[in-house]
Amino acid sequence: MRQARSGEELEIKRTEHDIPINWVFWGIVTLIAPLVGLFYYVVAGQELMIPASQYWLSIGAITAFSVVIGFVASAIGGYMSGLLGSSNTPISGVTIMVILLVSVMLYSLLGGAESATLETSTAIGLASVAIIIGAVVACAAAVSCDNLQDLKAGLLVGATPWKQQVMLLVGVIAGSLIMGPVLQVLFEAYGIGGVFPREGMDPSQSLGAPKAAIMADISRGVFAQSLDWTMILLGGALGIALVIFDEILKARGSFWRFPAIALAIGIYMPLDVTVPLFFGGLIWLMAEKRLDRQREKLGVDYTLAANFARRRGLLFSSGLIAGEAIMEPHPLLRQKAQPVDTINDDLKSFIEDMFITMEAEDGIGLAANQVGILKRVIVIDVPHEVPALEALYQAGHEIIAVYTQPPRPAGRGHKVQKSPIHVFAENLDIPIYTPKKFQEGEIQELQSHRAEVAVVVAYGLILPRAALDCFPYGSLNIHASLLPRWRGAAPIQRCIEAGDQKSGITIMQMEEGLDSGPMLLKEEIPLNLQITGGELHDILSTMGASLIVNALQQLENGKINPILQDDTQVTYAYKLSPKEGKIPLLKSAEEIEQRIRAFTPWPGNWCLLEGERIKILEAHIIKEKFINDSSSKGQPGQIISTKPFIVACGKGFLEINKVQKPGKKPMAVEDFMNGFPISIGTILR
């Protein structure tokens, strides 16, 4: 800079020619304007008690803080990018630190007012502002990590920095234009972090956002005054001590260094990341030591040889990354599974868990090694229309055609899949029809079959009167309830949810009303207090297949006398919605326990535990005697005991027995708590 001011002509190497710093400065000033607009938009949308005279001053202070802390976070991220590479930098940790600082600053500006609590709109607005600032800083730090890593690679290959920087700017602009719409599309399609754009979406398909949940919890924790400041202050003091220690090592010229950030990453990052980093560092150290031993032998050629060796190491590391990318998908599927010799109780329980996992993911099949168990076990979903078709076929009835829903995308991969009855009918060489609705052309085609009777099982399309009249003996429906109780789409689940003591199958003659036709045959079964929706579904599938064969035989022999339904006894089983999976902890323990059994396996039952969605697969009601001996009866959702795992409800208490984390297999609650320690007093939400 002295040379430039004195007018001397500077000779800058091509590999050191950056974008002029004054351009960088004016670029920063220019970008402050959209930041001000962003924070104005965010603050204006919240109910913050900011005096009019201080409104723009507050926005200016927030913007200035974001720029300064963004610079610091970018420096930290860039430094760690040089140490570990851009893929392992602690961006989320830096962002959490920023949100913590911002939240404390905003809370201090309120003067510690009692209004700054989670229940107030002001506190929620402040938490939103803190998270937006954290998002801005996170983007700045992430771009810094990536750009510095690119510049480092460019230095190794002799690139021109200013040209790289121009293209990096283009990349940032392009990424900012693309990333927003992509995230919005993903949000609209799946939901993110348990938040959905509309009702009726499947919670199991929601994209996870655990770090976002942590950031929100920290921000709320500051305003609720519930953070453990002891650990935060202890960590800060230790960080200062380590920085001083590292500077002492540097002043003494020691080969060893002890950066505090590297230690923090070792604590923050999972073990499967830090252990390979350690061994990679050892390999680098051994290579450097070997080069040092050859320094005298190589002489002036040492620098050339060292750079050549380091570039070879970089290429080798690139190969490792590429190899991992090729081999990473589903490594369990490449391991050899063991044969199953005996069917015992443990295997039966495991198969039941596999069915729960499969149906929770909207799948039609699951192999044991997909959930980490190397056994030759596969489960396949067979809906209750398949047993009915199989029973009719084996009874010798001539099946002229099968009508089913068109193939549709299903499962996480959204591959187009045929319905199970479609596949089953194909194997029997039965003609298959998949109309999307019944209009004049479809009804004429239906008449052309000249069938005597139709059997309808969970078809999913409304059949108009003209379609029902195509058959001399009418259209028979296998309905999974004791009509007139539980007309509608979900009789099995609503029956258990209501605490019914019996269920069964009704064969009825279809008419235009919803499950309102005359009843031909009925068969009932008692319900035990442990049965789930999935178990009752399987029982009624077998029962319905047998009963329809019996009904057709009696219909042919003229021995059936239709019975009209009593409209005064009608109840409706409304269609299940994925949003019903969230457990309403304000309800009584009895209602929740029935609901858990009814909605297993679908739509499932879940609640939030420290921001993470946990599925509850099994639970039972705790008697009052145990609770009367307890020191705390708790509020709804509060954990009042961990051994056994007991949760307070709106009325009564539940003991949780089996749970499932997202993407994991079902497990006993004891095994769950071994890896997820829980404190008494924690609230399930």
pLDDT tens figures, 311-341: 777 778 777 877 766 665 555 556 677 777 7
66 and 135 in a single domain? The answer is yes
Structure tokens at 151: 């510049």
Q: What share of the chain is helix, strand, coil (3-state, %, to 5)?
A: 55, 15, 30
Give the span between the Cα atoms of 524 and 532, in whole angstroms.
17
**Average pLDDT score over the chain:** 79
What proportion of the chain, given as a percentage, has pLDDT over 90? 18
- The tens digit of pLDDT for each residue in 559-587 reads 888 999 999 999 999 888 888 889 999 89
When pLDDT is cut at 50, 70 and 90, the band that residue 220 belongs to is: low
When pLDDT is cut at 50, 70 and 90, the band that residue 113 belongs to is: very low
Q: State mean pLDDT over 599-604.
A: 87
Instruction: Give the 3-state secondary structure of residue 679.
Output: coil
Cα Rg of the chain, angstroms: 33
Q: State mean pLDDT over 211-236.
A: 71
Highest-confidence segment of 58-62, 125-129, 599-603: 599-603
313 and 412 in a single domain? The answer is no
Residue at 143 is within a domain:
yes
Q: For residue 299, what pLDDT is reported?
A: 65
Residue at 132 is within a domain:
yes
Residue at 37 is within a domain:
yes
Residue in 575, 594, 586, 585 with CA at minimum distance from that of residue 614: 585
Domain's final residue, options 351, 381, 411:
381
| Predicted confidence (pLDDT) at residue 631 exceeds the cutoff of 50 | no
- Asked if residues 483 and 563 have their Cβ atoms less than 8 Å apart, the reply is no
Q: For residue 119, what pLDDT is reported?
A: 46
560 and 417 in a single domain? The answer is yes
Domain's final residue, options 227, 258, 286:
227
453 and 399 in a single domain? The answer is yes
What proportion of the chain, given as a percentage, has pLDDT over 70? 75
- Asked if residues 585 and 649 have their Cβ atoms less than 8 Å apart, the reply is yes
Q: For residue 121, what pLDDT is reported?
A: 55
175 and 214 in a single domain? The answer is yes
- The tens digit of pLDDT for each residue in 240-282 reads 888 888 888 888 887 777 777 777 767 766 677 778 878 888 8
Residue at 246 is within a domain:
no
Give the span between the Cα atoms of 409 and 413, in whole angstroms.
8
- Asked if residues 104 and 209 have their Cβ atoms less than 8 Å apart, the reply is no
Q: State mean pLDDT over 355-361.
A: 57
Q: For residue 147, what pLDDT is reported?
A: 80
Residue at 129 is within a domain:
yes
The count of domains in the chain is 5
Structure tokens at 121: 């709109």
Q: Which domain holds residue 368?
A: 338-381
How are beta strands 432-433 and 454-456 bridged, if at all?
unpaired
Q: For residue 114, what pLDDT is reported?
A: 41
377 and 402 in a single domain? The answer is no
Residue in 471, 572, 493, 563 with CA at minimum distance from that of residue 522: 563
CA 27, chain centre distance (Å): 39
Structure tokens at 34: 């959209």
The set of residues, in sequence order, having a beta carbon less than 8 Å from that of 470 and lying 6+ positions away, is 443, 446, 447, 451, 454
- Asked if residues 453 and 476 have their Cβ atoms less than 8 Å apart, the reply is yes
Q: How many CA atoms lie within 13 A of 100 on its CB side?
A: 15
Q: What is the pTM of this model?
A: 0.50
Q: What is the largest distance, in Å, between two alpha-carbon atoms of the chain? A: 114
377 and 391 in a single domain? The answer is no
Instruction: Give the 3-state secondary structure of residue 615.
Output: strand
427 and 279 in a single domain? The answer is no
Q: For residue 387, what pLDDT is reported?
A: 86
Residue at 120 is within a domain:
yes
Q: Which residue has the higher pLDDT, 233 or 552?
A: 552
- Of 60-64, 430-434, 541-545, which range is least confident? 60-64
Q: Which residue has the higher pLDDT, 386 or 307?
A: 386
